Structure 1
């Protein structure tokens, strides 16, 4: 199966090459009968044995250049046997008052070249053109003579057969070496790639496919190169096809010459790009060291804060690399080509029209970072979402709430929302405050309400005694007075659980003193206060204080003892969400 595919590939390549090579002679020889209504070309090339002889431009004896080429080719093809070996004779002629030279072999006139056939842009004399035409004609006749000489044909066939056998042998060797080469490449990939990344991802299948594709491409390239050289060698063995082989060889060498000249001319630009790249890397390293020192607190620069040092470093790094690319752009190989410029314009348009939303998020992210409204580990409330800040990314902010849900908020929404940070002032003296409000009827003395709320705050663990809790009358509404209790707590991360415990103590204290907690939206005062007596605090399935109190207190202690999210300042905070009041 492998040899069948190789033979089909070789045959297809040979047929394709011969088709391409046959285009030039066919196009060079004009048709003897021009199509109706079409303007005949001004000149026609005379070729024999696929070799150029001369160019006709004048109409002679009523014959157009195309007709002259057709008649001359018939005369040349009629030369056989000893006639081909006869010398080429020249004699001057005058036709229609046009001076020229006739080319003759024995008694047979091959063609006539007149002065009007000269190229107006050619500075050579008519005699020089005639001498060149005679030399080209002799070379074509010699090729015709060699083509009719059977020992030359036999030698070409023998050499072609040997070249064919050598080609098939080399193709067979490539097929045999393919599996061995694939094994070596796969081993190299596994040694240098899999050994380093095997813990992260299983590269076995990908490494096999990569090695297989590399080997297939290399084998195909070698086979095509061998077929190309084989065609050049075989075509040059026969006089009739020798020009085709010369054109194939010339195309190959011109291609190599073009690539070589391009590579040599690109060396100064490549060296310049490398120098710019190395300088940019050095500047980037210096910038990274400076901002790393600022972020760790080892260096202080006015206007730069540890919280914004990372973002500032990234922005400056992007600017530095953008300037480096701008400076190095003219020195990139092929940067001045129209294709490279077109791709640059297309890429710019794609980025411009496709990144409007991304740019909005990026700019919003810069506002979030440089406003320093919160940092990693803070307990914040953004809009209606409360949680611990996991990280502040370029495009979004990620929180974790009390239900251990990761919430992603786009930076554009963060900029447009109200942000409450419960942790930013926790390190100051007095900690951070916690507040809750109750509404009590006008029939209850406000001093008693103040005292009861203060007692409830004193019973709540993890609330600080200094500064002392205090109460404010927030509003005198139509049916009730709104009181708000303020107290300081140790760790803002425990805010929801501390608030829940505080609410429980408020209910207990108000029930102990017979004060109902309800917004008196009623038309008639009830006969008795709506309270729960102390004897009814623990109906089934509730438990007595010795058990229930211990279990409830353990919840807060468990949250306080959980591993906290580290913050840049070293404080610890847990991810919780404030319950609705």
Structure 2
């Protein structure tokens, strides 16, 4: 009985709004039009059709005015954000006016209370769904606009858009469903309490999924890498980041194989971001050894000239040659140079080694290798005796 009494006392907002608007329209009509309105009330279907037609015309008129006035402002700006925003807002204005005219038309038809309430709630449901869709579009284009303005909005970037987009979708859809339930006279509070208990059970059952989910948020917040970065994991995977989702991160390796790694693994892994730092350029080091009899100045000049003439290597920073140590059979040195992209490291190293070997042969520079001499102290006396 208590539950039934509470349902009787629940307020039907849509019915009240439609009834109040219908009454206000009647009270504000001029004296010359009032008799026509009263005659139309005797024919509810004609009145409802007239209200829908007038609502459609007004909705189109306000939509056109909205686009015309604000469109002039949008044309003065360089970006596309305001143009897209005003288009969506004009459609929202059209939907709001048209659906309100449908509510007025239902009020004019004077159905029974049950049918009247159902139809009005149905129209309000369509209006709420329409507004949810437009809010989702506005959120999407807003995030994209903020991500392009990196100087003012550093947190909203291309890599963070998927997470923020999903979060805003959950909030908007959740709020919309809450209002939708209320419009149908359903109190979702008890459902939310039950969802909390169910959430605990689901949390234990899907702990791995939740771990990946939270790790995805932490990766976005900490930003050890972003889309397009070339990274190397402590487990040996190396590739370019092609996707950062709420569950996993995807790498495209040099073999054109896509590797999907759970975010919980990425969150605990040691990550070397080869695209990190002030630029995407990365340094390569070619280790080589020369004989102790070599002219070190000649070795230095030959390598440096070859590096400066190589189009695969960056001119800024300049290539360098550094002698590192006196080795067991050689003087060890390194050719250090910068390349534009980390994924070129293998191919360019291959070409440099071939060029160095060719140049050293042409200039008589020896690349020593380990040699061992065998001394025989004594031969056995019977080694050459006939058997």
Q: TM-score range by the shorter chain?
A: 0.5 to 0.7
Count of residues in Structure 1 that have an aligned counterpart in Structure 2: 261
Match of 1:286 in 2: 138
User: Where does residue 132 of structure 1 map in the other structure?
Assistant: none
Say whether residues 1:501 and 2:351 are aligned partners. yes
Alignment match, 1:313: 165
Change (3 A) 1:525 1:472: farther
> Residue deviations 1:476-509, cap 9 Å, x none?
7788765332212244432221111112223334
Corresponding residue for residue 204 of structure 2: 353
Structure 1: gaps of 5 or more residues: 1-259, 527-581
Deviations 1:213-263 (A, max 9, x none): xxxxxxxxxxxxxxxxxxxxxxxxxxxxxxxxxxxxxxxxxxxxxxx9999
- Deviation, 1:276, is 5.5
Given the alignment of the two structures, is residue 483 of structure 1 paired with residue 333 of structure 2, yes or no? Answer: yes
| Structure 1 equivalent of residue 283 of structure 2 | 433
> Who is 1:131 aligned against?
none
| Alpha-carbon shift at residue 309 of structure 1 (Å) | 3.3
Instruction: Tell me which residue corresponds to 2:265.
Output: 413
Cα distance in 2 for partners of 1:474, 1:417 equals 32
Deviation at 1:328, TM superposition (A): 5.4
- What displacement does 1:469 show? 0.8
Return the index of the structure with the highest Cα Rg: 1
Q: Can you list the C-alpha shifts for 1:167-217, whole angstroms capped at 9, x where unaligned?
A: xxxxxxxxxxxxxxxxxxxxxxxxxxxxxxxxxxxxxxxxxxxxxxxxxxx
Shift of 1:396: 1.6
Task: Show the counterpart of 2:107.
Answer: none
Shift of residue 306, structure 1, vs aligned partner: 3.9
Instruction: Return the alpha-carbon distance in structure 2 between the equivalents of residues 367 and 415 of structure 1.
Output: 8
Does 1 or 2 have the higher relative contact order (CA < 8 Å, sep 6+)? 2
CA distance in structure 2 between the aligned counterparts of 1:517 and 1:273, rounded to whole angstroms:
83
How far, CA to CA, are the matches of 2:200 and 2:163 in structure 1? 27
- Contact preservation (8 Å) 2:289, 2:367: no
State the TM-score, normalizing by the size of structure 1.
0.37
Change (3 A) 1:286 1:337: closer
User: Contact 2:291–2:331 at 8 Å: present in 1 too?
Assistant: yes
Rate the CA distance shift 1:406–1:472 in 2: closer, same or farther, 3 A.
same
Q: CA offsets, 1:290-314, max 9 Å, x none? A: 1122245599546433442343232
CA distance 1:458–1:342, change in 2 (3 Å): closer
Correspondence list, 1:483-562, <5 A: 483-511=333-361, 512-518=363-369
**Over aligned residue pairs, what C-alpha RMSD do you find?**
4.3
> How far 1:377 moved relative to its partner?
3.4
Tell me, in whole angstroms, the C-alpha distance in 1 between the residues paired with 2:270 and 2:331: 28
- Residue equivalent to 2:314: 464
| Maintained 8 Å contact 1:365/1:393 | yes
TM-score of the superposition, structure 2-length normalised? 0.52
Distance 1:322 1:480, change over 3 A: farther
- Please give the secondary structure, in 2, of the residue aligned with 1:420: strand
Corresponding position of 2:49: none
Distance in 2 between the 1:500 and 1:337 partners?
66
SS of the residue corresponding to residue 160 of structure 2 reads helix
Describe the superposition over 1:272-330 as per-residue Cα deviations: whole angstroms up to 9, x where unpaired.
76666555444333322211222455995464334423432322332333344456556
Does the residue aligned with 2:240 lie in a helix, a strand or coil? strand
Distance, in Å, in 1 between the alignment partners of 2:221 and 2:267 is 12
Residues 1:395 and 1:446: Cα distance change in structure 2 (over 3 Å): farther
8 Å Cα contact 2:330-2:368 kept in structure 1: no
* Pick aligned residue for 1:387 from 239, 243, 254: 239
Consecutive unaligned residues of structure 2, counting only runs of 5 or more, are 1-111, 375-387
- How far residue 367 of structure 1 moved from its aligned partner, in angstroms, is 2.8
Which secondary structure does the structure 2 equivalent of 1:398 belong to? strand
Q: Aligned equivalents of 1:325 and 1:440: distance in 2? A: 75
Instruction: Measure, in 2, the Cα distance between the counterparts of 1:505 and 1:354.
Output: 59
> What secondary structure is seen at the aligned counterpart in 2 of 1:377?
coil
Which segment drifts farther, 310-319 or 441-450?
Answer: 441-450
